[in-house]
């Protein structure tokens, strides 16, 4: 037997866990070694979640303050979830006896894998992990060690433990412990492949209760897959297991175990080649290259082939498709369609189990996770997923897209909810989720601060949805955004464009046409009325009726006139146009709000500990003091719409007259104007940016200032400064951005950045709905 450390598969096997973690783009072992050894060795660290900057902080974190939660927990053990991180802490535990494809290499050699598992828990579900490597092959020792650590952890993820010990270890710990115990090597593959199988059967037009399935491999993952498939309706008599000795049949003696005997088939077939004749489904969890093209030619029509050995599948994707063009294929690899990847499962299953304090992860919870994944694959795929995979080709449900991609953020919003609900329905949730919509919003906050903030906007928009016009209604991103708007219930989309093109896109993305208004402006019965009204508005600026009719052929002008005439409530434009092409018609037709002379643009930037609103980031190049005062007032009002109580800093290179210069002086004048017009606003200036946001500087040098380093609205002297500031903070400061938000128009109009995501379009539409509600007095 070849020493595993000399094996040619070492480089690939170390890069990707079989049917599990995402594979790296490089197979270069030197890169992997440098990745793990560079800087601080390893991949994880412990980071405090509470302040530790002062002596008081430390006295609360440790003695004497820490005694108080200790006493509370002593009185009520359940309070350990209230005062410690137990409820978000999982142990990843291994003895190193079955690491990757490397075999029994020991606990120390397995530690990089366990750390990697911790990285994935944190990256995908914000779950904290301690990796624990146990130096024992004794089942009793292993179980005792894990069991006595129960007070520390909210869940146990068993990893890389050789069969058959893994079965006994999991069974015993699940019986003896009151927290979830989950062997991912078994159940993770089962859950993800079950989701893919459900969808593959739908594509093939077959029923699970009627198909014949052949499994190559009879280890932990194979047995878990088979048991879960049976729960989904697979018939035991339609299954044949094949191991290194051949078909597992009744009466066989060689290499048999109790769990193999349970699934022994009543058949005269003895080889994998024979077993595959007429089979509907092949599930490979064995070794690379054991299946040939000739072997799959004898399978049933539309064969489902899941060749999941890693790094080399039982049969290559290209080989299989060449031999059987009608095949529906999945592998464990990321470089081919339909990767069966365990990272779609374990982080999100534990997230749901921890959040309802489940005592176990039962079959119903596993099935709920599979169903959530299979349903998600049928929904439109976000642009962020395409960027993560560096592709412009869209993923859509079918032969080459059976399950979601690991970087699809919606997995976090769907799988934990399904798991927690199943836990409650089966009575294993100690703290059942009471409001699943609120729970989903809490999960959304884990994805980023902007999502949490926008969820509040969506909730308010749903209370009174408005009609939002999209001049670029024949663009795919707009169609997809319109679908999301309908699904979320935040507004009624009106799409401008040629009816045949819009109609074909609506069909492509399965948009309910009854919930969409499509207008081909060249055939609109309102065209003449809008042109006449536009002429009326602009005739004193030299516009003729012929000019008005010509200009009204512009969708942007048509959309603005729809609003002016009360036929729509908001406009979202600019996907394929420059900023002025949207601003100009808005100003000519809608004009500014009463008392407002200039429009301006703002961005919300969300950092981990604070949210800022910056202006004017998009419109006015070099505003004077009057304009700056107006910008400050409008931006403060924008902040309030997002439930931010504004504290406005007029930002300059000077602190309160420290430098005499016209640019600094205009910020002083703007501050005084705002104080007179809006005495309700907290505003200071001129002041340097660090004085505005740093309490230490403000307290020491300017204790009399109304802004003590706590500014959340920053108004800059010109477009150069504001635009550069928001982009630098966004790109380098780790902020999340919402915008640009157009301020000051009489009716809601927002201009999209070129190249925006669908989610950004939907966000701006929801903000426009909120604008329309407020302007209508709701």
Q: Which residues are catalytic?
A: 62, 117
Tokens matching residue 640: 């309030």
Alpha carbon 762 to its chain centroid, in Å, reads 16
CB 559 within 8 A of CB 566: no
Tokens matching residue 95: 């003895």
Distances (CA, A) of 486 to 461, 467, 515, 750: 12, 11, 7, 19
CB 311 within 8 A of CB 211: no
3-state secondary structure of 105: coil
* Residue reference for tokens 């000019």: 547
CB 369 within 8 A of CB 375: no
On the CB side of 304, how many CA atoms lie within 13 Å of its CA?
A: 27
Task: Give the chain's length.
Answer: 778
Tokens matching residue 354: 């921890």
Alpha carbon 585 to its chain centroid, in Å, reads 37
Taking CB atoms within 8 Å and a gap of at least 24, the contacts of 590-596 are 590/560, 590/563, 590/564, 590/745, 590/746, 590/747, 590/749, 591/745, 591/746, 592/744, 592/745, 592/746, 593/744, 593/745, 593/746, 594/746, 596/630, 596/634, 596/744
220-231 vs 363-376: helix crossing angle, rounded to 10: 80
* Residue reference for tokens 């594979």: 23
CB 560 within 8 A of CB 531: no
CA pair distance 467, 457, nearest whole angstrom:
16
- Which DSSP string corresponds to 642-690? TT---EEEEE-SSSTTSS--HHHHHHHHHHHHHHHH-TTSEEEEEE-HH
3-state secondary structure of 360: coil
């Amino acid at each position: 037997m070849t020493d595993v450390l000399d094996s040619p598969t070492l480089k690939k096997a170390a890069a990707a866990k079989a049917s599990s973690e995402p594979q790296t783009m490089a197979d270069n072992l030197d890169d992997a070694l440098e990745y793990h050894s560079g800087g601080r060795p390893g991949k994880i660290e412990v980071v405090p979640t509470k302040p530790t900057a002062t002596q008081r902080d430390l006295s609360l974190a440790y003695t004497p303050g820490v005694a108080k939660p200790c006493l509370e927990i002593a009185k009520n053990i359940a309070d350990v979830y209230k005062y410690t991180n137990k409820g978000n802490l999982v142990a990843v535990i291994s003895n190193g006896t079955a690491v990757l494809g490397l075999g029994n290499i020991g606990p120390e050699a397995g530690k990089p894998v366990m750390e990697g598992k911790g990285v994935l828990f944190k990256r995908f579900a914000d779950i904290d992990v301690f990796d624990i490597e146990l130096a024992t092959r004794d089942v009793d020792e292993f179980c005792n060690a894990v069991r006595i650590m129960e007070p520390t952890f909210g869940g146990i993820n068993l990893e890389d433990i050789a069969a058959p010990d893994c079965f006994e270890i999991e069974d015993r710990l699940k019986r003896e412990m009151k927290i979830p115990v989950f062997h991912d090597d078994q159940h993770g593959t089962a859950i993800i492949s079950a989701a893919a199988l459900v969808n593959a059967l739908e594509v093939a037009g077959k029923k699970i209760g009627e198909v014949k399935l052949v499994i190559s491999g009879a280890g932990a993952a194979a047995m878990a897959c088979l048991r879960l498939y049976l729960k989904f309706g697979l018939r035991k008599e339609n299954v044949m297991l094949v191991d290194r000795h051949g078909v597992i049949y009744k009466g066989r003696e060689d290499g048999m175990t109790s769990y193999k005997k349970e699934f022994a088939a009543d058949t005269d077939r003895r080889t994998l080649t024979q077993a595959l004749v007429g089979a509907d489904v092949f599930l490979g969890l064995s070794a690379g290259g054991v299946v040939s093209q000739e072997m799959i030619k004898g399978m049933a029509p539309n064969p489902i082939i899941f060749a999941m050995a890693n790094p080399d599948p039982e049969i290559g994707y290209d080989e299989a498709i060449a031999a059987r063009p009608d095949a529906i294929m999945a592998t464990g690899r990321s470089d081919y369609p339909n990767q069966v990847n365990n990272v779609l499962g374990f982080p999100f299953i534990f997230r749901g189990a921890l959040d309802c304090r489940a005592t176990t992860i039962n079959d119903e919870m596993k099935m709920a996770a599979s169903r959530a994944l299979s349903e998600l694959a049928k929904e439109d795929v976000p642009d962020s997923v395409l960027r993560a995979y560096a592709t412009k080709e869209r993923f859509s449900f079918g032969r080459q897209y059976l399950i979601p991609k690991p970087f699809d953020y919606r997995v976090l919003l769907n799988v934990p909810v399904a798991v927690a609900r199943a836990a409650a329905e089966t009575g294993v949730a100690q703290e059942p989720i009471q409001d699943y919509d609120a729970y989903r919003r809490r999960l959304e906050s884990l994805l980023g601060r902007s999502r949490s903030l926008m969820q509040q906007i969506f909730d308010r928009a749903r209370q009174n949805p408005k009609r939002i016009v999209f001049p670029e209604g024949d663009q795919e991103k707009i169609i997809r955004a319109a679908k999301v708007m309908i699904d979320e219930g935040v507004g009624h989309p009106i799409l401008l464009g040629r009816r045949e093109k819009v109609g074909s896109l609506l069909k492509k993305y399965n948009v309910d046409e009854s919930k969409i208004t499509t207008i081909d402006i060249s055939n609109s019965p309102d065209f003449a009325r809008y042109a006449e009204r536009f002429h009326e508005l602009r005739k004193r600026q030299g516009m003729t009726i012929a000019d008005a009719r010509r200009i009204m052929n512009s969708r942007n002008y048509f959309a603005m006139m729809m609003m002016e005439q009360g036929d729509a409530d908001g406009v979202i434009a600019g996907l394929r146009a420059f900023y002025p092409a949207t601003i100009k018609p808005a100003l000519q037709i809608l004009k500014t709000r009463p008392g407002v002379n200039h429009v301006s643009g703002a961005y919300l930037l969300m950092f981990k500990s604070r949210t800022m609103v910056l202006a004017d980031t998009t419109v006015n190049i070099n505003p004077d003091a009057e304009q700056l005062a107006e910008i400050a007032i409008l931006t403060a009002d924008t902040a309030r719409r997002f439930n931010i109580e504004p504290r406005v800093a007029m930002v300059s290179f000077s602190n309160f007259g420290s430098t005499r210069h016209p640019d600094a002086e205009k910020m002083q004048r703007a501050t005084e104007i705002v104080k007179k017009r809006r005495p309700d606003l907290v505003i200071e200036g001129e002041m340097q940016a660090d004085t505005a946001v740093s309490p230490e500087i403000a307290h020491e040098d300017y204790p009399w200032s109304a802004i003590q380093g706590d500014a959340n609205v920053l108004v800059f002297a010109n477009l150069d400064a504001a635009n550069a500031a928001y982009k630098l903070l966004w790109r380098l400061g780790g902020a999340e951005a919402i915008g640009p938000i157009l301020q000051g128009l009489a009716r809601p109009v927002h201009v999209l950045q070129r190249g925006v995501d669908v989610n950004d379009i939907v966000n701006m539409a929801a903000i426009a709905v909120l604008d329309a509600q407020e302007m209508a007095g709701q």
